[in-house]
Amino acid sequence: MSGLTYETVARIAQQGGLIYFGLIFLAGVVYALRPSKKAEFQHAARMPLDDEELV
């Protein structure tokens, strides 16, 4: 019989998922903290406070 049991496959899938979502999280943090995006994020943060009517 093969060495791949349910427990082995489940452990590999869990560790792979953890690494995958960890990398996605780190990519999001790097994107959000890029200095070139600072002005864009500040503008987006002020949008609810602006008195302009969007028509």
pLDDT of residue 28: 96
CA–CA distance, 15 with 34 (Å, rounded to integer): 29
pLDDT of residue 10: 96
Instruction: Report CA-CA distances (Å) from 50 to 37, 41, 45, 53.
Output: 20, 15, 10, 9
pLDDT of residue 11: 96
pLDDT of residue 3: 82
Q: Is 3 helix (H, G, I), strand (E, B) or coil?
A: coil
Q: pTM of the entire structure?
A: 0.66
Tell me the pLDDT of the chain (55 aa) as tens digits: 568 999 999 999 999 999 999 999 999 999 999 999 999 999 999 988 887 766 5
pLDDT of residue 52: 73
Instruction: Report CA-CA distances (Å) from 37 to 17, 23, 55.
Output: 29, 20, 27
How is residue 24 written in tokens? 């996605």
